[in-house]
Structure 1
């Protein structure tokens, strides 16, 4: 008879779990649940990754709530599993659960929670108190919340989240305009990314404009999207106020912004390295390249390294539309000589061409910008083609063109 080992070292079991990390989240969760049901040893090894970032929807959400919150009162029946949850993604929860359940989950996982994505319908005022106690929280995503939120409650909560790095505001309307006095908008001391959406205009925008020093030194990334009342003048003022710190910006889904209004965004933000913008807001004059610019002035090239072009569904003057020819002209003239990563939404109907390889080859040969001071062994005897094909650093640093299929 074939004999099987009754015991495997923990090191081997951990190697199996490393392999499972590459799986899709739902398949991984099912495999981890079966893995932990083999015996006590396997349970001890798998229980932490099983609860670390669970996929919650339907029946799985109900079972998760019963496990983490076996009693309404935490001190009556506590569970050690609540301290294992690091990411609580409730984006797939629509009609299941309630607002009190969401508040209870936040209260139980407050000691370990690092990422929280709020549900659409079951997040309300009673969740703020529990949320403010999640002192290890790094990502707070409220973009799906449909209920009107209080900016005063939001401001008071984020002030207590000293480790928060990313904040996403909801798309819904707010009651900020009802505040009679200006509010001291203070952001967390380690905030790196802020996503503005919904009713980001009027008084709230004015309070942010007059308090630029309240943004922390770590702040470098800003997204402005799904803001029906925000025009290009308000956006320009905000970007210019934060020009010294911003390196990553996203501008899309802004209904009242017209064609060509963001042509000078590279002038407003001299340190910008990554830009996502809808083609609806730029035209053939994008970049504001001087008429006498030529490849010999490559040292004056803009700092932009990554460009993502999407569409917001608006139609402008077709004769002024920004096309692939316009983009590659900016690259050929070295005005966008540092551009290495290009992401194009499939909805733009651009041809799948990659004009960045020759430009990057020239940068590599002359050791410009990101290749300056390159000391990889053997590069002096290599061609650019060999370097990008045979070395790990070359594969990582080569330019990339990606078509976004879902945009």
Structure 2
């Protein structure tokens, strides 16, 4: 005899199953795999009302919207058109991560704004689409009071005034990381633009940087991490005007110079000592060929060795600029400029420049580690000590 009655399991057991399915390591590798997780939770919710009540929050936590008509289906469900019956459950409030970065033309300014209004209660991470971000969208973003991470990299920054963007994020008390549009023009602002969120510690900036603006720029008071990506004119004067800022000289702990910057250091004949003046800089990531110019040259007179604990070297920015004897110079620097280094990450394409001295470099770095106190090591909690390999082109 057949029965349509669903098998009942204690809710506590279903919660364990859902957690295991959510945190399965096989889902950590990329978008297509995460789409599989989405399908799994969709099936989970179809088993019975009990399973639905447990699985629905996982289904909407981080929707995968980049394939086929998934985005249209999602928006019609979370923000149904006029005349369409709404769900009894506030599905929009279950969304914590809204990643629209893979969308090209699927969303308009008004649609993005309306969608943000539906998901604002629980949203902690928002990645903006390539189109569909304007004044109305900024107003909707300002109402997402629980936002922790805001990524506007792909948005058309030229259409957004910097003062208006700052005023928007000033309303986000929990915001910790901010990625500005890569085409945004950064300007001075007055008090009407509001103050930076108190918890904001990381910023990614790009576009054209005006030295006259950046040398006196009002950075967030607790900024500790700065990523320079897709800048258009990061030459030596611009680089120094950016970092010769009282706030950064005192507080900056992490600096990344991305390979996607254009016209970066077009003249390496000029030297710079600015990194030696960043008192608390412990992490630096940059193209391999800039290492000699920025931190392997002899220590400038009157200055102490770099405070760096972690140095990561990515694919060379200029072709054929790395010397064959780079490993020898690096070993020398580990006893001078880089004597505080605990960890050295080397891009896969850069290994050939140090392969003959890989073991010796690793041994030298471990000497630094062994000479440090346990309290120092525990404070920074660096995962990889010694020398290790990094991905030159990580999937973001």
Q: What range describes the TM-score normalised by the shorter chain of this pair?
A: 0.7 to 0.9
State whether residues 295 and 337 of structure 2, in contact with CA within 8 Å, keep that contact through their aligned partners in structure 1: no
Q: Aligned partners of 2:293 and 2:213: how far apart in 1?
A: 34
Cross-structure match for 1:67: 77
Q: Matches of 1:171 and 1:322 in 2, distance apart?
A: 36
Q: Quick one: which of 119, 134, 137 aligns to 2:147?
A: 137
Distance 1:270 1:84 in 2: 43
Picking from 308, 328, 340, the partner of 1:325 is 328
Is structure 2 residue 257 aligned with structure 1 residue 251? yes
Matched with 2:30 is none
The residue that corresponds to 2:31 in the other structure is none
Aligned: 1:6 with 2:7: yes
Q: 2:131 aligns with which of 104, 107, 121?
A: 121
**What does 1:123-202 correspond to in 2, within 5 Å?**
123-146=133-156, 148=158, 149-174=160-185, 183=190, 186-199=195-208, 201-202=209-210
Q: Relative to 1, partners in 2 of residues 1:250 and 1:73: Cα closer, same or farther, differing over 3 Å?
A: farther
Kindly tell me: are residues 350 and 318 of structure 1, through their superposed partners in 2, closer, same or farther at Cα, counting changes over 3 Å? closer
In the alignment, the residues of structure 1 paired with residue 272 and residue 325 of structure 2 have an alpha-carbon distance, to the nearest angstrom, of 10
Cα distance, 1:365–1:403 mapped onto 2, change above 3 Å: closer
Q: Does 1:42 align with 2:85?
A: no
- Is 1:182–1:207's contact at 8 Å kept on the other side of the alignment? no
Deviation at 1:282, TM superposition (A): 4.0
Deviation, 1:316, is 6.7
- The CA distance in 1 between the partners of 2:280 and 2:299, in whole Å, is 19
Q: 1:236 maps to what in 2?
A: 240
Q: Give the root-mean-square deviation of aligned CA atoms.
A: 3.5
Tell me: CA distance 1:7–1:79, structure 2 relative to 1, closer, same or farther (3 Å): closer
Deviations 1:167-214 (A, max 9, x none): 11111254x67xxx8645642221100111012x22xx53443254x5
Mapped to 2, the partners of 1:155 and 1:131 lie a distance apart of 12
CA gap 1:246/1:227 in 2 versus in 1, 3 angstroms: same
Cα distance change, pair 286–207 in 1 and its aligned pair in 2 (3 A): closer
> In the alignment, which residue of structure 2 is the partner of 1:378?
none
Bigger mean CA deviation after superposition, 65-74 or 91-100:
65-74
Give the C-alpha shift of residue 69 in structure 1.
0.3
Instruction: Please say if 1:281 is aligned against 2:287.
Output: no
Unpaired segments of 5 or more residues in structure 1? 293-299, 375-393
Residue pair 1:284, 1:326 contacting (<8 A) in 2 also: no
How many residue pairs get aligned? The number is 368
Asked if structure 2 preserves the Cα contact closer than 8 Å seen for 1:26 and 1:55, the reply is yes
Counterpart position of 2:276: 267
Q: Which of the numbers 59, 62, 75 marks the counterpart of 1:53?
A: 62
CA offsets, 1:93-139, max 9 Å, x none? 11222221111111111121111100012222221111111111111
Partner of 1:339: 341
Residue 28 of structure 1 deviates from its aligned partner by 1.7
Offset at residue 36 of structure 1 (A): 1.4
1:98 matches 2:100: no
User: Which deviates more from structure 2 when the two are superposed, residues 278-287 or residues 26-35?
Assistant: 278-287
Of 187, 210, 218, which residue of structure 1 is paired with 2:216?
210
Q: 1:345 to 1:46 in 2, by over 3 A?
A: same
Q: Is the 8 A contact 1:193 1:220 kept in 2?
A: yes
1:226 aligned to which of 230, 237, 262: 230
**Cα distance change of structure 1 residues 170 and 43 upon mapping to structure 2, 3 Å threshold:** same
- The answer as to whether partners of 1:171 and 1:227 remain within 8 angstroms in 2 is yes
CA separation of 1:237/1:142 partners in 2, compared to 1, >3 Å: closer, same or farther?
A: same
Question: Contact 2:365/2:387 (CA < 8 Å) preserved in 1?
Answer: no
2:119 alignment partner, one of 109, 113, 120: 109
1:16 partnered with 2:27: no
Deviations, residues 208-239 of structure 1 (Å, cap 9, x unaligned): 43254x521x2101111211133222221221
Quick one: distance in 2 between partners of 1:358 and 1:32?
48
Q: Please tell me whether the aligned partners of residues 348 and 389 of structure 2 are also in contact (alpha carbons under 8 angstroms).
A: no
